[in-house]
Amino acid sequence: MDGFQQLLHDLRKQIDGVTNNVKTLKDNPVSMTPGVARAVAISITKLEESKMWLGKALGETGSELPKEFADKVDVANPGTTTAPSTPAEAGGQNAPAQPANGENNTPQQ
Query: Domain extents for the chain?
Result: 3-87
Work out the number of other CB atoms within 10 angstroms of the CB of residue 16.
22
Cα distances (Å, whole numbers) of residue 35 to 20, 28, 29, 32, 78: 20, 14, 13, 8, 31
What is the reported pLDDT for 91?
47
What is the reported pLDDT for 83?
47
Residue 1 has pLDDT above 80, yes or no: no
How big is the CA angle at 46 (ends 41 and 52), to the nearest 5 degrees? Answer: 130
**pTM score, whole prediction:** 0.60
Residues 6+ apart with CB under 8 A from 46: none
Of 5-9, 54-58, 65-69, 80-84, the least confident: 80-84
Of 3-17, 41-55, 77-91, the least confident: 77-91
Residue bearing the bigger pLDDT, 31 or 77: 31
What is the reported pLDDT for 72?
75
Q: For 38-79, what is each residue's pLDDT tens digit?
A: 999 999 999 999 999 999 999 999 887 666 656 677 776 665
